[in-house]
Amino acid sequence: MSEHKLVFATAVEALFVRELGANLTGVGRRLLREVGLDLDQPLEVAYPLAQWKRFVSTASALLYPHLSSSEAHWWMGIHFVEGYLQTSVGRVLADLAPVLGPRRMLERIGADLSSGNNFSEVRLLEHGPRYVELWMNDVLDDHSSFAAGLLLRAQQMAGARNVHVDVWSFDGTAGTFLIRWRDTVRS
């Protein structure tokens, strides 16, 4: 693993261009530009993780000023998945997710995250047929709720219903999540 954690342009594009772009006003674009993301210019190849976190924090405060930081960052995790689904790779995954189902979707989430950065590692521990513990070496944010929102939306995409994603532990970087679901949507 690289000693410098980088978030690739594909992840930045998914969240800030494809998903949030139309919702960012002139003021929002200016505030993002002030923290290093100029959406009127071509994206950099990669951004340091600390800078990505500033982008997420700035956008979450702009879009969700009425929510707590944790809730706003949870929504940003959901937006991240929604933006990813608008990319060419994401469209393929959207078609594949229901076939994979919730358990196999979680098994591949580390690889999916790694397509957007150079540091993501994920481990799963199965506690039951629809109950897993997922550890991430870095939750991509200062709030574990970002990853919780991302995981919830990914599970829903894979057909899981009645999904619960609970933060079991968070040390400021790594997080462990307990993920449960009761049933799945049948196509």
Domains of the chain: 1-187 (3.90.1520.10)
- DSSP states along 46-60: EEEHHHHHHHHHHHH
What pLDDT does residue 3 have?
66
CB atoms within 10 A of CB 21: 14
Q: Does residue 14 register a pLDDT over 90?
A: yes
Q: Residue 165 pairs with which residues in a beta bridge?
A: 179
Residue 12's φ and ψ, nearest 5 degrees, are -65, -45
Given the structure tokens 């449960």, which residue do they identify? Answer: 180
Q: Does residue 173 register a pLDDT over 90?
A: yes
150-168 pLDDT tens trace: 999 999 999 999 999 999 9
For 183, the 3-state DSSP assignment is: strand
Q: What is the mean pLDDT of residues 47-60?
A: 98
Question: Cα–Cα distance between 3 and 24 in angstroms, integer?
Answer: 33
Q: What is the mean pLDDT of residues 102-127?
A: 92
DSSP 63: H
Q: Does residue 184 register a pLDDT over 80?
A: no
CB atoms within 10 A of CB 52: 25
pTM score, whole prediction: 0.92
Residue 174's φ and ψ, nearest 5 degrees, are -85, 150
What pLDDT does residue 22 have?
87
What pLDDT does residue 185 have?
64
Comparing CA positions, the residue from 25, 19, 144 lying closest to residue 90 is 19
CB atoms within 10 A of CB 93: 21
Task: At 167, list the tokens.
Answer: 């933060």
Q: Does residue 1 register a pLDDT over 60?
A: no
pLDDT band for position 65 (cuts 50, 70, 90): very high
Comparing CA positions, the residue from 79, 63, 85 lying closest to residue 158 is 85
